Amino acid sequence: MRIKVFVSIFSLIILISTNTFAQNHSSIDDKKHTIVQPIKAVKELKLKNIKAEFTVDPHEPAPPLTQMWVNGVLSSKCGKNWEEFPRSGTSATSCGHGGPLLRVAVLEIGYGSSHPSVRYQDNPLGSAYETEPLCDHGSGTIGKCSRGQTVAAFKRYYNLDGRSVPGYFTYENTSINAPRNTMFTSINILP
């Protein structure tokens, strides 16, 4: 009985001291190392007049990709405002882009892979710094999701900060379910 009590108390002391050490250790690291904050969109790209053709049934499998396009480009030289593209078909920007800040937002209708092929000036880019789920608001309209709504689309934000302009941005993704179709979109970002 004494051994069980001793082991229990000893275990509790180890647990508490480990937690205390971890808390103190992380505060020491904070002073020695620069902490890089996650990248956030400078200004939210609002969903204006976005209509898409899709059907969402919460009892069916996730819908495949049906549409995708570059929804906006943001840069320092364009007044740090999003140049918006509410529908597909835009092949080039019209605002004079450039400067240290350069971001691109892609809108996908349906469910694509979480690892699309993304390139700028023929160089691969990393993952999206933010992925925003969008929901069916009825009549082919998508918008921010509320509790209980069905996700129908995704907006993915990419960081191209410090890259030169002009440049060609390409994006390709494949549906995660049948018919596993692959879609492609691109835009020429002009100075």
User: Contact, 45 vs 71, CB < 8 A?
Assistant: yes
Q: How far, in Å, CA of 165 to CA of 99, rounded?
A: 8
Tell me the CATH number at 165: 2.60.40.2870
Domain around 74: 67-189
User: What pLDDT is stored for residue 54 in this prediction?
Assistant: 54
Residue reference for tokens 């508490």:
16
pTM of the model as a whole: 0.72
Residue 15 lies in a domain: no
Band the pLDDT of 38: cuts 50, 70, 90: very low
User: What pLDDT is stored for residue 150 in this prediction?
Assistant: 87
* Dihedral sign computed on CA atoms, order 38, 41, 46, 47: negative
State the DSSP string of 75-91. ETTTTT-EEE-SSS---
The domain total for the chain is: 1
